[in-house]
Amino acid sequence: MHDLSPAKKLKELLDRPELLTFPGCHDAISAKLCEQAGFDSAFMSGFAVSASRLALPDTGLISYSELLDQGRNICNAVSIPIWGDGDTGFGNAINIKRTVQGYAQAGLACIMLEDQVAPKRCGHTNGKSVVEREEAFLRIQAAVDARNEGADILIMARTDARATHNLDEAIYRANVFHEIGADITFLEAPESVEEMQKYCNSVPGYKFANLIEHGKTPLLSHEQLAEVGYKIAVYPLTLLNVSILAMQTALTALKQGKTPEAILDFNKLTQAVGFQDYSLEEQRYIDNLTS
């Protein structure tokens, strides 16, 4: 798959029979660690990027240019296809087309677009609202148009209508998103296995499960998710969650004059960030000069 574009790499992964599972990432090093751990893909979470880049909540405060810059850095650090959170698309239909084109040019394999009112907020928090059906459908139509006009990227259409209206409204929107041409649908925050099953049984195409520890959606096993009918399962906040906990624990130890217990050997740290690869490449050029 190395000669394929990110979108085509992702299509090949989706064509495989098994459930596609992967974590969220928030910067280049977290994405690189996902790849080093053997994951075939990773998801650039808007929640995690807003937290790591701005130390701010996922309430629409991060901008298009900031997410795009983060996505470009992430894609440059890895060879696996990256999914990108595109929030509400950052404007009207023309803005959305530009957002989709920009994400494709940055190297992202798929863009997620949602039907929340801007400024949006995390799908597992309170206070959400969604736009009317017509605007929601227009957003996805604009994204699909950008893809069909040459943007080499997949479109994932998300609805948050389960929380603001009801499950049936969310399923209706997901079905129309699929009819418009979205490659993947994402019904955010179903609250029971029965709701997950109803969504998967009612909407054709690839379905995306968003699994947040202590969130609203049941954390099913991979086998259960596949049986329910999901094709994709992502753990968007796991790495951010454990990294914040690890830093808080380490800071507490340092404040007490202690060395943190869970700490990488320095050689492993330098290997994780790429010193070994850099040295090998540097030596190759030195050898060419002296040969």
Predicted local distance difference test score (pLDDT) of residue 127: 72
Q: How many domains does the chain have?
A: 2
pTM: 0.93
Q: How many CB atoms lie within 10 A of CB 124?
A: 19
Same domain, 217 and 277: no
15 has pLDDT over 70: yes
147 has pLDDT over 70: yes
Share of the chain above pLDDT 70, in %: 98
For 189-218, what is the mean pLDDT?
96
- Tell me the pLDDT tens digit for each residue of 220-245: 999 999 999 999 999 999 999 999 99
Mean predicted lDDT score pLDDT of the chain: 95
5 has pLDDT over 60: yes
270-279 burial, b for 16+ CB within 10 Å, e for fewer?
eeeeeeeeee
From 19-23, 40-44, 60-64, 71-75, the region with the lowest mean pLDDT: 60-64
Give me the domain span that covers residue 275: 261-291
48 has pLDDT over 60: yes
Predicted local distance difference test score (pLDDT) of residue 123: 59
Say if 196 falls within a structural domain: yes
Same domain, 161 and 20: yes
d(CA 147, CA 155): 8
For 40-46, what is the mean pLDDT?
97
For 135-156, what is the mean pLDDT?
98
Q: pLDDT-based confidence at 291, cuts 50/70/90?
A: confident
Say if 110 falls within a structural domain: yes
88 has pLDDT over 80: yes
Same domain, 72 and 170: yes
CATH of the domain at 234: 3.20.20.60
Same domain, 268 and 166: no
Same domain, 221 and 271: no
d(CA 169, CA 95): 26
Same domain, 159 and 97: yes
Predicted local distance difference test score (pLDDT) of residue 21: 98
27 has pLDDT over 90: yes
Q: Pairing between strand 82-85 and 206-210? A: unpaired
42 has pLDDT over 90: yes
Share of the chain above pLDDT 90, in %: 91
Predicted local distance difference test score (pLDDT) of residue 290: 83
Predicted local distance difference test score (pLDDT) of residue 143: 98
Predicted local distance difference test score (pLDDT) of residue 125: 65
Predicted local distance difference test score (pLDDT) of residue 129: 92
Same domain, 14 and 117: yes
Say if 197 falls within a structural domain: yes
Say if 170 falls within a structural domain: yes
For 58-83, what is the mean pLDDT?
96
- Contact partners, residue 245, CB within 8 Å, separation at least 6: none
Say if 254 falls within a structural domain: no
1 has pLDDT over 60: no
Predicted local distance difference test score (pLDDT) of residue 2: 57
Q: pLDDT-based confidence at 255, cuts 50/70/90?
A: very high
Predicted local distance difference test score (pLDDT) of residue 120: 78
Say if 250 falls within a structural domain: no
- Return the closest-CA partner of residue 162 out of 112, 128, 193, 120: 128
Q: Which amino acid is at 141?
A: Q
Q: How many CB atoms lie within 10 A of CB 66?
A: 14
